[in-house]
């Protein structure tokens, strides 16, 4: 078999910062050491928040860091048909339902006295299930995964973690996913998909064998494995890396433009300076 295929999958909603540089370099160094490839995927499903200028800046910053990637670059905004097909397959399995709740409806349901303290899952507080058995017909509803029905079809859920933070095989209890992940949104009403569905479909479509990404997504991986198994897609290996934090210990976010790579570059930093700032050895 050829070397591993990993990927860097930024969303063009802001400038790349040191955290992105660490993620991209971790993936790219690993592919290079292995004789494999690191693909670039532009995660631009949220068209209201994505900007062409940010996409061009991603290419410029990565080239400056010395990162190359095979063409063509996959754009999630052009993959609507693939996501619709995956969604149709999940609907045909009977593991989805339509949800017409607004954010306010969900907040109100979660604050009802009998609900207790909601568990915070990959998308925030776990959905209380209001529409689960409601048989909604609204055409513009969101589509949710019925997690209890999904896991009833699956056994032996597991993935291999290769990153240093949680190295080893991870098996997980499907029942725990009902409480800890719950009925997540597969397709938002505005964009017809969600991060979870798109990433699952695209990692498989691109033949990714090692998903490299930040540890903030570790808890979403169990859900991605569930979707892979429902859709008969292979489960890749995972490398969840540490997050780069600012001096106050806070995780860097896109809005922290003070950490934008372009600014370091404008001030005369070199790519090796960036490597040193995120704790990576100089390029050999």
Residues near Zn ion (CB under 5 A): 99, 101, 130-131
241 makes contact, choosing from Zn ion, ligand GLU, none, with CB < 5 to 8 Å by partner type, with none
Query: How much is the CA Rg of the chain, to the nearest whole Å?
Result: 20
Does 236 bind ligand GLU (CB under 6 A)? Our answer is: no
* Span of 9-17, 51-59, 142-150, 267-275 interacting with ligand GLU by CB under 6 A: 9-17
193 binds ligand GLU (CB under 6 A): no
The four Cα atoms 280, 266, 72, 38 give a dihedral, to 10 degrees, of 0
14 contributes a contact to ligand GLU by CB under 6 A: no
Contact pick of 109, 217, 231, 233 for ligand GLU (by CB under 6 A): 217
Instruction: Say whether residue 9 binds ligand GLU (CB under 6 A).
Output: yes
Using the minimum distance from each CB to Zn ion, give the nearer residue, 133 or 267.
Answer: 133
| 131 or 208: CB nearest ligand GLU | 208
Size, binding site for ligand GLU by CB under 6 A: 7
Q: Measured at the alpha carbon of residue 118, what is the angle toward residues 117 and 123, in degrees to the nearest 5?
A: 155
Residue 168: count of CB within 10 angstroms of its CB: 7
- Maximum Cα–Cα distance across the chain: 59
Distance, first Cα to last Cα, the chain: 26
CA angle 129, 134, 136 (to 5 degrees): 115
Q: To which residue do tokens 């399995």 refer?
A: 93
Strand spans (E) along the chain: 5-8, 37-42, 74-75, 96-99, 120-121, 124-125, 142-145, 158-161, 168-171, 185-187, 210-214, 237-241
Q: Is 45 a residue that touches ligand GLU (CB under 6 A)?
A: no
Contact mark string toward ligand GLU, 82..111, x via CB under 6 A: ------------------------------
Structure tokens at 164: 């240093």
Considering the rule CB under 6 A, would residue 239 count as an interface residue with ligand GLU?
no
Q: Name the one range near ligand GLU by CB under 6 A: 5-13, 26-34, 106-114, 147-155.
A: 5-13
Work out how close the CB of 47 gets to ligand GLU at its nearest, in angstroms, rounded to a whole number.
14
Per CB under 6 A, 6 contacts ligand GLU: no
Q: Using CB under 6 A as the criterion, what x/- string covers residues 153-192 for binding ligand GLU?
A: ----------------------------------------
In this structure, are residues 200 and 227 in contact, taking their beta carbons and an 8 Å threshold?
A: yes
E strands, 48-116, in order: 74-75, 96-99
DSSP 206: T
Using the minimum distance from each CB to ligand GLU, give the nearer residue, 9 or 62: 9
Instruction: Summarize as ranges the residues that interact with ligand GLU (CB under 6 A).
Output: 9-11, 43, 199, 213, 217
């Amino acid at each position: 078999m050829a070397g591993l295929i990993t990927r860097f999958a930024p969303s063009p909603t802001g400038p790349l910062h040191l955290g992105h540089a660490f993620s991209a370099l971790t993936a790219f160094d690993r592919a290079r050491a292995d004789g494999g490839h690191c693909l670039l995927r532009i995660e631009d499903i949220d068209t209201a928040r994505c900007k062409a200028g940010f996409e061009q800046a991603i290419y410029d910053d990565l080239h400056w860091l010395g990162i190359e990637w095979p063409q063509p670059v996959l754009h999630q905004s052009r993959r609507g048909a693939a996501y619709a097909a995956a969604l149709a397959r999940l609907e045909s399995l009977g593991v989805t339902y339509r949800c017409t709740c607004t954010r306010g409806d969900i907040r109100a349901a979660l604050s009802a006295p009998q609900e207790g303290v909601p568990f915070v899952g990959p998308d925030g507080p776990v959905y209380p299930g209001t529409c689960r058995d409601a048989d909604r017909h609204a055409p513009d509803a969101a589509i949710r995964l019925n997690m209890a029905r999904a896991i009833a079809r699956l056994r032996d859920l597991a993935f291999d973690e290769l990153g240093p933070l949680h190295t080893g095989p991870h098996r997980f209890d499907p029942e725990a996913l009902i409480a800890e992940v719950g009925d997540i949104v597969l397709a938002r009403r505005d964009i017809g998909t969600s991060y979870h569905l798109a990433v699952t479909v695209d990692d498989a479509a691109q033949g990714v064998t090692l998903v490299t990404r930040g540890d903030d997504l570790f808890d979403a991986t169990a859900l991605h494995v569930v979707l892979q198994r429902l859709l008969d897609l292979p489960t890749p290996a995972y490398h969840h890396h540490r997050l780069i934090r600012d001096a106050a210990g806070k995780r860097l976010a896109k809005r922290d433009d003070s950490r934008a790579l372009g600014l370091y570059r404008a001030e005369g930093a070199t790519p090796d300076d960036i490597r040193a700032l995120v704790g990576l050895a100089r390029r050999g």
